[in-house]
Amino acid sequence: MKTITLGLLGFGTVGGGAYEALRMTEEQFTKKLGVKLKVKKILVNTLKKKRRDDIDPSVFTTNAKDIIADPDIDIVAEAMGGIEPATAYMLEAMRYGKHVVTANKAAVAHNFEILTKTAERYGVLFRMEACVAGGIPILNAITQVLQANKFEEVLGILNGTTNYILTQMTKYGLPYEEVLKDAQEKGFAEADPTDDVEGIDVANKLSILMALSFGKYVHPTEIPREGITGVTMEDIEKAKAEGKTIKLIASAVDNNGELEYSVKPVALPNDHPLAAVSNEYNAVFLKGNAVGELMFQGKGAGALPTGSAFGGDILNIMALSGGKML
């Protein structure tokens, strides 16, 4: 049986989740694709930390070159986070002829053009499903099944932390600071929540979503952006009285050929499909000229949902590059 060899950059939440998702279904996909997946090397920060018992310690390395330049490795899966050195590693891996999968929305959003152009030049596949809305298979839908459409509107609730905070404020009438503190204690929000609550994370995701659905790349720092720190209980009560719910919405709308985009809190009418998406759930609502209105809802974060998307990309590349065409 043919073996496809993978190198994994990073073994935190996303990398570990992907590893777990792949292991859980190993047998199933080997049977289906007629190809075996071997994880040859995993890049970590330190070799001193105790890792999973079922992985041979010699698999771990602290030297990225052991993965990027290894001629045996077919696919490099990047789950390190941070813009650099992740981008440099991905580009280098492509130049070595390796397919690249990433879950790193900041790196992709900031360097979309160079990454996609380099992949094209070196004839390798570049996949990023896990970057946007975690486990929800939205990017594949847009680039594959829905490609016969011209998109008119793409709206998303793309950050679980802020959606959780807004949901709790709306449901229990608790002020922002109190809910944030509670979310931090429960592990739903980071100790430094800036990227989430200021909409920076969402802007990265919207940048990728727009590039794929409208073919227009906008650098994430050029997307008009407003987070949820300014949302008051008065705003929420006012929206409620008007039959509306406040959500942090990433929006891209084609207005007669002019793409309008923003990340900001929006009071959605309660009968809008996105208004009912609560707590840590993510959702994407879109309109295509053929398909009409579609909505996708699911978990946008977490090790396994993200691992599901990341693993799906890896399996898809395996199928395209070595196994059966699915």
> Which residues are designated catalytic?
205
153 interacts with a second copy by CB under 8 A: no
Query: Which residues lie closer than 8 Å to 264 by C-beta, 6 or more apart?
Result: 199, 224, 225, 226, 248, 249, 251
Query: Which residues lie closer than 8 Å to 306 by C-beta, 6 or more apart?
Result: 13, 14, 17, 18, 103, 130, 134, 135
Q: Residue 112 Cβ, how far from a second copy at the closest point, in Å? A: 15
164 interacts with a second copy by CB under 8 A: no
User: Residue 151: left (phi > 0), alpha (psi -120 to 50), or beta?
Assistant: beta
Q: Which two tokens stand for residue 165?
A: 């905070």
Residue of 15, 265, 305, 323 interacting with a second copy (CB under 8 A): 305
83 interacts with a second copy by CB under 8 A: no
Query: Following DSSP, what letter does each residue of 79-94 receive, concatenated?
Result: ---SSTTHHHHHHHHH
Q: Residue 262 Cβ, how far from a second copy at the closest point, in Å? A: 24
59 interacts with a second copy by CB under 8 A: no
Which residues ranging from 190 to 219 are in contact with a second copy (CB under 8 A)? Answer: 215
Cβ neighbours around 183 below 10 Å, total: 22
302 interacts with a second copy by CB under 8 A: yes
3-state secondary structure of 250: strand
Residue of 171, 181, 216, 324 interacting with a second copy (CB under 8 A): 324
Q: Residue 238 Cβ, how far from a second copy at the closest point, in Å? A: 25
113 interacts with a second copy by CB under 8 A: no
> Which one-letter amino acid corresponds to residue 57?
P
Give me the residues that bind a second copy (CB under 8 A), please: 17, 20-22, 24-25, 28-29, 32, 120, 125, 129, 135-137, 140-141, 143-150, 215, 273, 276, 288-299, 302, 304-305, 307-316, 320, 324-326
